[in-house]
Chain A
Amino acid sequence: MLSAKDLACTRGDRLLFTQVNFQLHPGGLLYVLGENGSGKSSLLRILCGLSPPEQGSVMWNGEDIRRHADAYRAELLYIGHLNALKDDLSAAENLRISSCVTGHDDGADRVRAALHAVRLARCADLPVRNLSQGQKRRVALASLWLSQARLWILDEPYSALDAAAIDLMAARIGEHLASGGMAVLTTHQEVAIPAAGIQELRLTP
């Protein structure tokens, strides 16, 4: 279970948000809403433990994530604005190596299957620099098919994707929730994700 208590965040001397509280239970989905610059990405980075909050704390199963960082990171998948792909490596190499870096070595077959799932099987061996923006995003999101993490934190996962790919991702997120996973995401598109418990969190200063 992920919970946030009285989170506050500042950028420079501007207050982005205060008093953010929520509890996310297994199977739950949290939409973070707000205008551009309202601090959605900053909130997600705080939830990952990349940045410290100005105030308040983030708890994973009742423990502060900054104190039990290693255990928390093992259950976390974060996909940010940046795709974390190397232009000079192929899509398959990128996924294979990043899965090794995060500690669970997915074999070549699983990586191929994940790329097949995002409809990129034909581009698996092309250098990522030759792919379009949307295809790069799909390679990054192929880790949704590889990850064993229980908590997914996704920052604008649908950016640059076409309608078919968006449905694909939404369905995958739905599957993850149905199997007891949790997800936090920001998006500007209205996409229906089948989930038992959907919460919305609107960020206001």
Chain B
Amino acid sequence: MSGALAAVVRRDILLALRRRSDVATTLFFFVIVASLFPLGVGPEPAMLRTLAPGVLWVAALLACMLSLTRLFAADYADGTLEQMVLAPQSLTLLVLGKVFAHWLVAGLPVVLLAPVLGLQYAMPNEALLVLALSLLLGTPALSLVGAIGAALTLGVRGSGLLVALLVLPLYVPVLIFGAGAVAASQSGLSAEAYLSLLGACSLLALALAPWATAVALRIAVE
């Protein structure tokens, strides 16, 4: 059972390694958006510091969403999805593998890059740490919830826009708690409550999203 999960993760990581340009597009987007803001807004450190949590979190969120439409589209087109639906393993488990691979490829690099980009916003060290931590706790929720949207829009024309419409409202709490954590840490308050709420969002998504995604995928291949 865990072998099947590992195989799904391995396949998606291998594919990502062989098509690096897809992964690079997402990260490039994140880096460019986060780097253009300080240039446009001006060098005032106090202003940059106020903007930083929101801008970095929005950039991370949009970067994650960019790669969502690809999550199941290729599997759907080449028949791999049919085979996954027909596998004796539970589809929920296989979906969890796909989402984990998506997070490793699209979420984890964002977590690691964010503190470096945060330097451009004159953020204090402690806030940089909280930024990375908030993204580490929050990005799994983005991948998990995004998978539901990706599965629901499979095979639909213009699915990119539709995914955004479906998924963005669900991303709002994660955005508020994530940016809130960084802002709190910058103004010298404890970010603990925000981080707990982010962790709770991810746990809730972990419990419900793979199952909902599996149901949506079964409908998509019918």
Residues of A in contact with B (beta carbons under 8 Å apart):
48-52, 70, 73-74, 76, 78, 80-89, 93, 97-98, 100-103, 105
Contacts and interface: CB of A to CB of B under 8 A. Distances in A.
A136 B110 CA distance: 37
Interface of B: 1, 3-4, 6-8, 10-11, 14-15, 18-19, 74, 77-80, 82-90, 94, 221-222
Given A50-B82, A86-B80, A73 B88 contact: yes
Given A50-B222, A101-B94, A82 B7 contact: no
A73 to B, nearest CB: 5
Nearest to B90: A70
Contacts of A102: 4, 83, 87-89
Contact of B83 (A74, A87, A89, A101): A101
Given A100-B3, A101-B8, A78 B82 contact: yes
A80 B82 contact: yes
- Of A70, A80, A82, A93, chain B has the most CB atoms within 10 Å of the CB of A82
A154 to B, nearest CB: 13
A104 B80 CA distance: 17
A51 B86 CA distance: 11
Contacts of A48: 86
Given A84-B79, A85-B78, A88-B18, A103 B89 contact: yes
Nearest to A72: B88
Contacts of A76: 86
A105 B11 contact: no
A86 B8 CA distance: 12
Contacts of A80: 79, 82
Given A88-B15, A97-B11, 14 more contacts: A50-B222, A73-B87, A73-B88, A78-B82, A80-B82, A81-B79, A82-B79, A84-B83, A98-B80, A98-B83, A100-B7, A101-B7, A101-B8, A101-B11
Nearest to A94: B11
A103 B10 contact: no
Contacts of B222: 50-52
A97 B97 CA distance: 13
Contacts of B221: 50
A82 B82 contact: yes
Nearest to A71: B88
Contact of A82 (B4, B6, B78, B85): B78
Contacts of B4: 100-103
Contacts of B79: 80-84
A103 B83 contact: no
21 contacts: A50-B86, A50-B221, A50-B222, A51-B222, A52-B222, A70-B90, A74-B88, A76-B86, A78-B83, A80-B79, A82-B82, A83-B78, A83-B79, A84-B78, A84-B80, A85-B78, A86-B74, A88-B19, A93-B14, A102-B83, A103-B87
